[in-house]
Structure 1
Amino acid sequence: MSSGFKDIAALRAFKFERVLNDDPITHALTLLGSFLAADSTSQDRSPAIVRIEKTALSSEHADKLFSEALDDVRLIESTDIYTWLFGWFERSAEMPDVKINIIHPATDVHIRKYSQQQVIVVRETPALYARIVRPYIHAFPAARTQWVDNILSGASEAEKVLHRDTSPEFGYVLLPDMKWDLVTVSSLYLVAIAVSRNIRSLRDLRKGHLGMLRSIRGEAARVAQEKWGLDRGSLRMFVHYQPSYYHFHVHIVNANYHGLPGMSVGQAHLLDDVIALLELDADDGSSIFERITLTYALGEQHGLYTQMKAAQSELLDI
């Protein structure tokens, strides 16, 4: 988060424009508005996306929920053995009510990404990847992933890094994902980000990357066990396609964490399956991820939507 958003006074300067998304599953609202431009001495404002999500209840404080944390309740209804209540928590440093993510200044690409949208399912053949998707990926300016470079170089979030492999070709860093509240183990969310810029997505993986992928799997399991007591089998590790940003990374979440939109079929590819597929490849020749046809959902706001939707007519149903 920008250093300009450290207290409530800074957030009160947010000028609301409209709701981008209302997600009842994650209990989150994504808002579009603006803040004063950080590099401006005038009253110029720049777009901002603010996502407000209710935090998960932590079992570590279960004994305090009624004795200390709950401030007030109001009866909704009661019948026979069933009762429904509204409840309010007291202000607490240990149990915040919401988590707030801010993107500022936000680009049009960010606004489209976070907007509620209809999706279609598309098939991406190797030929469509070469003609449509790869040029789209390589057209992204390096500035879009500057925050990734900051993490990899240690310029930001260095204190959060859980494991670092410095190999320029097969290295990675493992750290908590920004979506995690850093407290609630049941919603644990880590991310492993590759050092190499040459791995933009799943399509760029080769058999030579197996060592890196196995290391990510092993180190994530080790860290989760040592720091949070999670045993083998307690983690779900997956790779997105299409990903939200084109610098290869692996998502690592508590296996009991449900309801994440990024865990849907077609977008999330289990790391174990990715490793198993690469193990089937010959030691030389093209990778299976170069040869395979991938099927996934695209939102109508995605930059690939129009071209990929039109290209589906070229594919024969067999």
Structure 2
Amino acid sequence: MAEQSVDGAATEESLAKKMKAIEPEEASKVADSVHDTALRLSSFQMTRILNVNSMRKQLMVEGTFKGQESPAIVIMEKKVFPEDDIFLKRGFFNEGTIIRKVYSNDVYGNYECFPTREHNGLNVTIIHPASQKHLDKFSRKELYLVNETYEIYESVTLPYLESNSFSLQWVDNILSHKAEYDKIIYEDKDKEKGFIMLPDLKWDGTLASLDILVLAKKRIKSLRELNDSHLPLLRNIRDTGTDVIKKKYNLSSSQLRIYLHYQPSYYHLHVHFSYLMHEVPGIHCEKAHLISTVINNIEIVPDYYQKAVLSFVVKENDPLCKKYQESGVLTVIDSQTEI
């Protein structure tokens, strides 16, 4: 959505989805976004570091762009190393490469290395204008594990989500072909078991980091709503999705991680397909549910997800975390211990 990092919960969620998470009342502000200008990062003035994720080599900072009053979030992440033959022939080092010895011991040596500019690139995500919810999401917070029964879901989680969830307009735009139509990899137009398959925005396009998103045509909030009536949809997503990836990217089903998040970063049913060798955010046991396991659970117990206890992480000071505290679901002691 956790990952062992400065802020595991934040890194477990797709940054691309957060970037799209604009509430209805804030939609008008997008017209003043820096994305509509000739963007210059030299005009970005940092005001504070929101988070550092050492595992993902990621830095998130808040600041402002020159001429803009509203805050922005800039997320910088080290690029994945290439694996193609052209890279091998061209090489990684040259005369301009700087290397400094840190220490050596027997056959092992530790060095600092500074390759040429071509290999020092970053993947950068910019959110502007950034709302307070965006700033809160990307700021470092302590994490707590919630064991949610279906009764807790109905009495605490669902009422909160219905009154505070982000707009799903961007999802509807994709489903209605108003946006990202040129990115669609595959589409099944069936109203009940159909879906749209497209690259996740955080995927850089390399096979090594394959990350594909599937959006169900039917409006289903999350894993919690699934039952045996949804098995045709889930099987279609799994089977057709793997066939498409096999034909287009030459990866078999056994090389794919196919999963749903709970809690998801937005409440329209979606499934992630990622290359098994690529450790994407949000694949840990307190976040990800393999689609094969989901299907099997429902085949055994048709209303499994209306009976099961689902565990997930919430962040300290998050409004939902406070709701769990107020209802007695979660007790936080000295901001460090939860019972």
> Normalization by structure 1: what TM-score?
0.84
CA–CA distance in structure 2, aligned partners of residues 280 and 296 of structure 1:
23
Counterpart pick for 2:213 among 191, 213, 217: 191
The correspondence of residues 25-64 of structure 1 with structure 2, limited to 5 A, is 25-35=55-65, 43-60=67-84, 61-64=86-89
1:147 positional shift: 1.8
CA–CA distance in structure 1, aligned partners of residues 123 and 330 of structure 2:
44
CA–CA distance in structure 2, aligned partners of residues 182 and 110 of structure 1:
26
Contact 1:71-1:87 at 8 Å conserved across structures: no
1:144 positional shift: 2.1
1:291 positional shift: 1.8
Letter in 1 for 2:214: A
RMSD across aligned positions (CA): 2.7
2:224 maps to 203
1:170 positional shift: 3.0
- Change beyond 3 A, Cα 1:112–1:314: closer
Once the two structures are superposed, what CA deviation does each residue of 1:221-259 show, in whole Å capped at 9, x if it has no partner?
22322222212311111111111111111111111112x
Letter in 1 for 2:176: S
2:293 maps to 273
1:154 maps to 177
Contact 1:121-1:297 at 8 Å conserved across structures: yes
Counterpart pick for 1:81 among 107, 110, 124: 107
Structure 1 stretch displaced more, 271-280 or 164-173 = 164-173
Instruction: Determine what percentage of the aligned residue pairs are the same residue.
Output: 32
CA–CA distance in structure 1, aligned partners of residues 223 and 50 of structure 2:
29
CA–CA distance in structure 2, aligned partners of residues 251 and 45 of structure 1:
36
CA–CA distance in structure 2, aligned partners of residues 225 and 113 of structure 1:
36
CA–CA distance in structure 2, aligned partners of residues 8 and 231 of structure 1:
42
Counterpart pick for 1:239 among 232, 256, 260: 260
Letter in 2 for 1:277: N
1:272 positional shift: 0.8
Contact 2:192-2:233 at 8 Å conserved across structures: no
1:63 positional shift: 0.9
Higher-RCO chain (CA-CA 8 Å, sequence separation at least 6):
2
1:96 positional shift: 7.0
Contact 1:70-1:88 at 8 Å conserved across structures: no
* Structure 1 spans left out of the alignment, 5+ residues: 37-42
CA–CA distance in structure 2, aligned partners of residues 116 and 298 of structure 1:
12
The correspondence of residues 1-318 of structure 1 with structure 2, limited to 5 A, is 4-5=34-35, 9-35=39-65, 43-60=67-84, 61-64=86-89, 66=91, 71-77=96-102, 79=104, 80-92=106-118, 97-140=121-164, 144-183=167-206, 185-197=207-219, 199-258=220-279, 260-282=280-302, 287-312=303-328
Structure 1 stretch displaced more, 70-79 or 4-13 = 4-13
Name the count of aligned residue pairs: 299
CA–CA distance in structure 1, aligned partners of residues 94 and 249 of structure 2:
24
Letter in 1 for 2:285: V
CA–CA distance in structure 2, aligned partners of residues 213 and 35 of structure 1:
44
* Structure 2 spans left out of the alignment, 5+ residues: 1-18, 20-29, 332-339
Once the two structures are superposed, what CA deviation does each residue of 1:72-122 show, in whole Å capped at 9, x if it has no partner?
122223534333333334444xx6721111222222222222222111111
1:162 positional shift: 0.9
Contact 1:180-1:189 at 8 Å conserved across structures: yes
